[in-house]
Amino acid sequence: MKVFSGRLRSSSTAAGRGLFLSVVGLAVSTALFVLAVVSISFILLGIGVFTTPVVLEAVRKHANQRRLWAATWSSVRIPVPYRPFPKELRPGVTGQVERTTLMLKDPATWRDLLWLLVDMTAGSVLAVVAAGLMLYPVESVVLAAGLWRVFQDEPYWYMFVPVDSQLTGLAALALGIVLFHVGLRATGAVLRAHFLLARTVLAPARDEELARRVERLTETRHEAVDTAASELRRIERDLHDGAQARLVAMGMNLGTIEALVEKDPAQAKKMLAMARESSAEALTELRDLVRGIHPPVLAERGLGDAVRALALRLPVATEVTVELAGRAEAPVESAAYFAVSEALTNAVKHAQAERVYVDLHHTEGMLRISVTDDGKGGAVAGPGSGLSGIERRLGTFDGVLAVSSPAGGPTMVTMEIPCALS
């Protein structure tokens, strides 16, 4: 019974998502495709230079949202292959022309436009099928319950069954039951097929993807080197200003105590107490420093327990779900841990969230992590944002970050790192 209930719930959820995607595909994808074609056509008139970047940016956001749904709903990963813009674009009309040119030269832009065309046709059909497999059987129940009487003059066709009597109504119900059982098993697969179709169109060619990955890994390698050097300087500074200073002061106190131990035992005793306090404070600072480099619970218990321990220290209610059959390599676990830590810090500090949900699982060679909060939303990924550090950390391992954060919330930060568990 529990198996049936779980399958019914997952299939019904997939059907609802399919219905939602069919509406989005027909409405949003069609509108954006028309706007993009018109805007690009108006470039020769000069108007398109100002409208095209805006429209294409909206297309990219729409495509990225579908990538996020593909990853979170059906575990289908669709690469994000957009070429980065130069750090500084010239202002005014010249900058608009340059921005428009860069976007139109990017092959990913044309794949996005092709995907809009596919999404409003074949993609919407697949989404409707995913919804119909669970919704269509409901009609057979209504027909068998008595709606067939409305169609006595002219039979109503339920697929290949002409319904015009109670007997044919029951035949339609039997067919609906068969379709219902088919839907229980096939709805999720059809929804996944919708996302696989999107990946077929949106994903770059293999050679292009390899070149992009090499470029990204080269960039993230340089960033990792810079980050490591900065981290070493931070550790050195923390040691110099914190524990090292206390240990030096404690050494001087011990020297003074050695001189006073016979002349003034009472003063020597007071200074010994001060030295003990200094040693305890130095030990606490060293432990905090070590925890910032590699938390002991992460090394001893693994990523799942480390994230649970991290959640316990948060001032908001946090629910952690972990489905990991083993452990990843230590560098991957460390990167994932600090990425989750930064995402949780952002949720508490900036999103004003009251509840946070963390999900960790490993499927298809990917460590997938999602951090969802009920805060005010409005978070964005990219240079200069609070999530740029997470992007750099994940990029070192060829990982990706996706963010869904509409104004008013909720915010979902999804992270993926390719790795194997042992």
Task: Please indicate, yes or no, whether residues 248 and 397 belong to a single structural domain of this protein.
Answer: no
Q: Which of 293, 326, 343 is the last residue of a domain?
A: 293
Q: Which two tokens stand for residue 166?
A: 């109670």
Whether omega for the bond prior to residue 410 falls within 30 degrees of 0, making it cis, is: yes
212 found inside a domain: no
The alpha carbon of residue 31 and the mean position of all alpha carbons in its chain are separated, in whole angstroms, by 26
Is there a single domain that holds both residue 263 and residue 403?
A: no
Per the structure, the complete domain to which residue 343 belongs is given by 298-418
Neighbours of 104 (CB within 10 A): 14
Q: Are residues 186 and 238 in the same domain?
A: no
84 falls within a domain = yes
CA 335 – CA 420 distance, rounded (Å): 15
Q: Beta 366-373 vs 355-363: how paired, if at all?
A: antiparallel
In a domain, 218, yes or no: no
Q: Flag whether 210 is in a domain.
A: no
Shared domain check, 371 and 288? no
Is residue 71 located within the same domain as residue 171?
yes
Lowest mean pLDDT among 96-110, 143-157, 326-340: 143-157
**Which residue matches tokens 């460390």?**
334
Tens of pLDDT, residue by residue over 54-78, are 899 899 889 888 888 888 888 888 8
- Answer yes or no: do 67 and 54 share one domain: yes
pLDDT above 70 (res 200): yes
Which CATH number do you get for residue 250? 1.20.5
* Residues present in the chain in total: 422
Residue 211 domain-assigned (yes or no):
no
- Summarize pLDDT for 250-291 with one digit per residue, the tens: 676 677 777 767 777 777 777 777 777 767 666 666 665 555
Cα torsion angle, 201, 205, 210, 213, sign: negative
Domain-ending residue, one of 141, 174, 204: 204
Does the pLDDT of residue 103 top 70, yes or no?
Answer: yes
The total domain count for the chain is: 3
The reply to whether 331 falls in a domain is yes
Calpha distance 335→392 (Å, rounded): 10
Three-class secondary structure of residue 400 per DSSP: strand
Last residue of one domain, picked from the residues 275, 293, 311? 293
Residues 308 and 284 reside in one and the same domain? no
Please check the confidence at residue 223 and state whether its pLDDT lies above 60. no
pLDDT of 275 reads: 72
| Strand ranges inside 240-299, DSSP E | none
User: Do residues 415 and 336 make contact, with C-beta atoms less than 8 angstroms apart?
Assistant: yes
217 within a domain of the structure (yes/no): no
Query: 112 and 248, same structural domain?
Result: no
Residues 128 and 104 in one domain: yes
- 311 pLDDT above the threshold of 90: no
| pLDDT per residue as tens digits for the range 116-131 | 999 998 888 888 888 8
pLDDT in tens, 76-92: 888 777 877 766 655 55
- pLDDT score at 33: 93
* 230 plus 314 within the same structural domain: no
SS3 content of the chain, % helix, strand, coil (to 5): 70, 10, 20
Structure tokens at 37: 């074609």
Beta strands in 226-377 (DSSP E): 317-323, 355-363, 366-373
Say yes or no: 76 and 196 in one domain.
yes
Establish if 72 belongs to a structural domain. Answer: yes
- CATH number for the domain spanning 318: value is 3.30.565.10
**Nearest by Cα to 412 from 74, 21, 68:** 68
Mapped onto helix, strand or coil, the DSSP state of residue 203 is coil
Residue 386 — very low, low, confident or very high, per pLDDT cuts 50/70/90?
Answer: low
CA dist 177 and 179 (Å) reads 5
Q: Do residues 370 and 316 share a domain?
A: yes
